[in-house]
Amino acid sequence: MSWALFWLVVFVAAFSAFTLISLVIAVRGVAEIRELFTALDEERRRKKP
């Protein structure tokens, strides 16, 4: 395999992975942020006298 072909394969893999993972983060991140707020709210209520 030539260097040019090798770098093409690596670049396509990197670009595809970046695109795919970014989409997954964009979709699933919202639910995680909601969970974080809920947990912080509960923690705050628990600490209140």
Q: Sign of the C-alpha dihedral, residues 18, 21, 23, 26?
A: negative
Site string for other proteins, 10-29 (x = CB under 8 A): xx-xxx-xxx-xx-xxx-xx
DSSP assignment of 24-48:
HHHHHHHHHHHHHHHHHHHHHHHH-
Q: Does residue 9 touch other proteins according to CB under 8 A? A: no
1 near other proteins, judged by CB under 8 A: no
- Residue numbers at the binding site for other proteins (CB under 8 A): 3-4, 7-8, 10-11, 13-15, 17-19, 21-22, 24-26, 28-30, 32-33, 35-37, 39-41, 43-44, 47
